[in-house]
Amino acid sequence: FDDRDGLIWWDGELIPWRDARLHVLSHGLHYASAVFEGERAYEGHIFKLREHTERLIESGRILGFEIPFTAEAIDAACKQALAANDMTNAYVRPLAWRGSEQLSVSAQATKIHLMIAVWSWPNLFGSDRMAGVKLGMAPWKRPHPETAPTRSKAAGLYMTGTMSKHAVELDGFNDALMLDWRGRVAEATGANIFFVIDGKLHTPIPDCFLDGITRRTVMALAAKRNLDVVERIIMPEEMAQATEVFLAGTAAEVTPVRQIGELMFAPGPITQMLLTDYEALVRTSPEQVQATLAA
C-alpha cells in the first residue's frame, strides 16, 4: 500500500506517496495516540466534510490534544489532497497523531501531526455487497465509556475491531457484529447497524460507540420516507425478528446484511429504498445535501 504514485498532504505540504514515511519512535504507533476520519468524495464533493472535520478535531480533544489546524484549514486540506491526486470519487483518510519528540506514556512534549491520504476504495465490502454481507459474532465487546474514549474515532479502539474481524473471517464471514459490554447489540467493526422489525427501523442507542454520520443520514432519509425510526436497546435474541438488516457507514455506505451467525435475512425493499436514497443524496452538491435533509 505504500509503494504507489500519488500525493499525501502532511502538515501543510504535499509529499509523494512513497516518501510519506514516519519515524518508528512515533508516540502514535507505540501508545495509539492517534485519531482519524474516513470520508468519501462523490463527484468531486466530500460528503459532509465539515461534520467529519469537526469529529476529527473533537476526537483529538477527547484524547487530550489539539490538532494545530482550524476546521477551515482541514476542510481545505482534504479538498487539496483530492484535487492533487486528480480524484473525484475517492475515500479520504485524515489522521492526526502524536509525533516522535518524546517517547513515554507521558507525551506532553510531542507535536501533533496531521496527514490526509486519498485513494480509490469503491466499497468496504466490494462486489459481494449487494447480495448482502455475512456477519459473525465478534469475540470482543465494545467497552464501557469509562473504560475507553468511545466517542472518539481513536486508533486504539480499532485494535479489537481488527481482532474480531480476523476471527470471523476465518469462518467465512465478511465482518463481525460487536455487542457492548452489557451484551447488547452495538455495531459492526466499521459501520453502524439497522434492523427492520414490524416495518419500522430499529437501531441501537450509540452510548458506547460512534453515532455515525451515515447512521444519522440514514435516519433522516428514513424520516423523509415516513418510516418510523426507533433508537433503543437491542438484545441479540431479538435479531431473529428482523425482516431486513443493513449496515451504514462511510466506507460501507448502505450495505444489506444476509446473515448474522446462524440467522439468515434477505435484502428487502426498505434497505433497497434507503440505499437508493443514500446513493442519490451523496452525489448531489453540499448545498443540495443540506436542503434535502432540512426539508
Written as nine digits, the cell of 202 is 430499529
Closer Cβ to ligand PMP, 11 or 211, answer by number: 211
User: Least distance from C-beta 16 to ligand PMP, angstroms?
Assistant: 27
Residue with cell 443540506: 290
Single out the residue of 124, 201, 213, 254 in contact with ligand PMP (rule: CB under 6 A). 213
Closer Cβ to ligand PMP, 85 or 192, answer by number: 192
Catalytic choice (48, 79, 134, 153): 153
Query: CB of 120 within 8 A of CB of 91?
Result: yes
By CB under 6 A, tell whether 185 contacts ligand PMP.
no
By CB under 6 A, tell whether 247 contacts ligand PMP.
no
Nearest position to ligand PMP, beta carbon:
212
Dist CA 85 CA 97 (whole Å): 23
By CB under 6 A, tell whether 215 contacts ligand PMP.
yes
Closest CA to 76 of 7, 154, 9, 152: 9
Closer Cβ to ligand PMP, 38 or 267, answer by number: 38
Let me know the angle formed at the C-alpha of 140 by 177 and 187, rounded to the nearest 5 degrees: 30
Dist CA 60 CA 280 (whole Å): 32
For 147-205, where are the alpha helices, taking DSSP H only? 159-169
Single out the residue of 35, 118, 210, 260 in contact with ligand PMP (rule: CB under 6 A). 210
User: Least distance from C-beta 102 to ligand PMP, angstroms?
Assistant: 29
3-state secondary structure 189-248: CCCEEEEEECCEEEEECCCCCCCCHHHHHHHHHHHHCCCCEEEECCCHHHHHHCCEEEEE
| The total number of residues written for the chain in this structure | 295
The stretch near ligand PMP (CB under 6 A) out of 16-24, 71-79, 111-119, 185-193 is 185-193
Single out the residue of 192, 203, 255, 271 in contact with ligand PMP (rule: CB under 6 A). 192
Is 200 catalytic? The answer is: no
Residues with catalytic function: 153
Which chain residues interact with ligand PMP by CB under 6 A?
Answer: 38, 187, 190-192, 209-210, 212-215, 249-250
